[in-house]
Structure 1
């Protein structure tokens, strides 16, 4: 099916080479680490837009669909029986040849770069909210640059240095720090949300209307994006027959955590809920430490998330050889996009609707339909075709909705 044309390499090394033969618990933890990220901080705002009940139903639906898509990729690799399929890009090459790899490469570039744009937006917005130095604010306005833009530009030279490192081995341990900070931040925010909800009880709505349905789907897809991780995770598991069960339990647990975080955040602040929920916590010491910790976390996670982009671009345009100016150009492009996007949650919805729909719904179902075309019954064919159609509809409608919000 195209895989014999050449040996596939790892195009999307989103996971480092971990210890082989992971236990069920370790696989559960790895799935959690692979999926949970900064996108959770935009869920309360998304729930304000969609309504808390619609938001919960959307999260559960997306979790179930993403879980199904991940298992489709696992089934495809097992069917092909090619040991060299270690990534989504490898699978695309095995099914569709160079075209399949090219499409997956483009989507990986857009998704990973999109995550990094979101990181810079979060850092700039959070530091601007925390800033109490009126002299700096006045200086930024005097220079016709907003505080948010000033902080984003401030990150730029340091990111050039970090992203110039050829190997990220020394930065990899920071991913553990990132996960600890994420969990700590979520715990602090949930505790504060409960206190505020009990004291204030602002008005909330359950359904925001169908006009914002696609917007909510985009944010949920961004929050659950991790389809590219499933093949390395399944490869590392000792008892592969139980991988499907472990994956399903992991996705259910994450959906419950996401739902609780989104609902509590919205119920605490109601219509005052901001696009980054930590901005609602005020300027207390605990809140400031949480926001600073998240900013540091995302600052050092940025080069890790850009690494797959660098590998793909250098392979395609520089014969796979390290090229510092290409990396700098990509960092500049990501920074410029971050400066142009005004709202964190709106951008999450845009990336989720446009790129994550294709990676999470369209390609897994399409590849499955192509590989198993001679074995599927009409129900399974209809399910795969329905997933492709759903992904395309969500991509077009969600992208339009998100762009409308950004430009308005």
Structure 2
């Protein structure tokens, strides 16, 4: 029967009674299957080991008395991606599953649409901390750090794409028509197996969970200023923070319990445009302030500062995180081979915007710039109120998709699937009872509610959003975006000794930077007034 997995497209048809089954066999059906195989062997009924190709592209095998088997050669020219279609054919409870045809995966995004998608993915709350980066590092070192991170981001994506292309080529040579995902998690799984996959999933979960926490903290910061400015002016900061956390919890809790991915994509896109308008207002206000008033007081070492370099590095890496989603954009393109030029242009464009926004914000605010530049805009003015409101709406609309990604990451972990949700056991027909179905749903929502509560408890500990962003960038994103692609590339291609020395040197440097960045972030969060 192994010959059914050969290079033919095999289609089973019932001549007397057409039956197509979409469910897996139960235990009783499996026993019948085993007994029928044993009976067939006792009655000298043989199953063909090879499928000869006859004229007319049809053959008839007497092993299946009531089946007509059509074979057709696979044509894989000019096609790279395939989704195998699986059918179940049942004859006396004898279930056969075979990949019998291919469905060509055709992307729908043009180069311009892909550019917009990449720009949207680059866009995050990290941009609000870029003027603070220049305050930490100076104009020259801050600009060099942004450019260096952008270049290495393109380099890492290039390494992963090279691995993905080679995997596709090998599948074509072996005539295996299965679509290969180009995410860093899938690449690590192909190269390092389950440990590599789990490593990327855990760090991806930490990254997205930290993103949710940063969104909640930003929302709380906005509510705190509303309370202290317009509502209760004599309220202490701790009391206002607690009230803001409760208000944020009441607003964001319903978004966290909805399962509607298409709705989340729409709200995220709307939030992206709201955020762009808010950034535009802030940029215009800073330029107007510089032209009318001039720059504020400068520090002596305004061009080059290294004492807080690793704290700034985490913020920059967080602002340029793209590897979890960039390759998915490539999969959706009509011409995937044009992704790399589009990505290079998108990264250069984003880096230019970041440079202008960070430099102008730093020149306007000087050493008085806050960790999040939006806080420096007075809410009493029309421009300040609009900038705060628009960006807060952007964060509010973008949060559900961020939280949905976290849910999908941990609910698909094997320990949750098998031990907590019992998904595999529930999928078997013998266990599909109303009680088990309700319990599976209850366990899922209990975990979600616990996760929401955890996010808001963490958000109560601090409002130093720039430091939280730096911690995430140093701990999770720097490893996923710069270290993992290097390791996967070297192991997959079995590179030369000189290339290994070069690659491991890069990994070592980024690992040291990650450790120092985490240390500096934790120090500034809990032990420093910076």
Is the TM-score greater than 0.5? yes
Matched, 1:162 2:255: yes
Report the Cα offset of residue 135 of structure 1: 4.9
Superimposed CA distance per residue, residues 310-352 of structure 1 (whole angstroms, 9 cap, x where no aligned partner): 1122223124665111111111111111211231111111111
Match of 2:389 in 1: 292
Q: Pick from 275, 282, 286: which aligns with 2:371?
A: 275
Report the Cα offset of residue 255 of structure 1: 0.7
The structure-2 alpha-carbon separation of the partners of 1:84 and 1:383, relative to structure 1 and needing over 3 Å to count, comes to same
What RMSD over aligned residues (CA atoms) do the two structures have, in Å? 2.2
Q: Pick from 209, 214, 227: which aligns with 2:305?
A: 209
- Are the counterparts in 2 of residues 124 and 147 from structure 1 also a CA contact under 8 Å? no
* 1:8-407 aligned within 5 A: 20-81=107-168, 83-132=179-228, 135-138=231-234, 141=236, 145-198=238-291, 199-204=293-298, 205-283=301-379, 284-316=381-413, 317=416, 318-319=421-422, 323-373=444-494, 376-407=495-526
CA separation in 1, counterparts of 2:231 and 2:119? 42
Match of 1:12 in 2: none
CA separation in 1, counterparts of 2:339 and 2:259? 34
The structure-2 alpha-carbon separation of the partners of 1:386 and 1:146, relative to structure 1 and needing over 3 Å to count, comes to farther
Q: Which moved more, 1:223-232 or 1:144-153?
A: 144-153
- Are the counterparts in 2 of residues 37 and 223 from structure 1 also a CA contact under 8 Å? yes
CA separation in 2, counterparts of 1:58 and 1:319? 47
Larger proportion of helix: 1
The structure-2 alpha-carbon separation of the partners of 1:137 and 1:120, relative to structure 1 and needing over 3 Å to count, comes to farther
Structure 2, unpaired ranges of 5+ = 1-82, 84-104, 169-177, 424-439
Matched pairs, number = 387
Report the Cα offset of residue 150 of structure 1: 2.1
- Give the TM-score normalised by the residue count of structure 2: 0.69
The structure-2 alpha-carbon separation of the partners of 1:43 and 1:305, relative to structure 1 and needing over 3 Å to count, comes to same
- Give the TM-score normalised by the residue count of structure 1: 0.89
Superimposed CA distance per residue, residues 131-180 of structure 1 (whole angstroms, 9 cap, x where no aligned partner): 45565354x54xx8432342122111332221111233223211111211
Report the Cα offset of residue 266 of structure 1: 0.7
- Are the counterparts in 2 of residues 159 and 331 from structure 1 also a CA contact under 8 Å? no
- Are the counterparts in 2 of residues 89 and 101 from structure 1 also a CA contact under 8 Å? yes
Larger proportion of strand: 2
CA separation in 1, counterparts of 2:463 and 2:520? 15
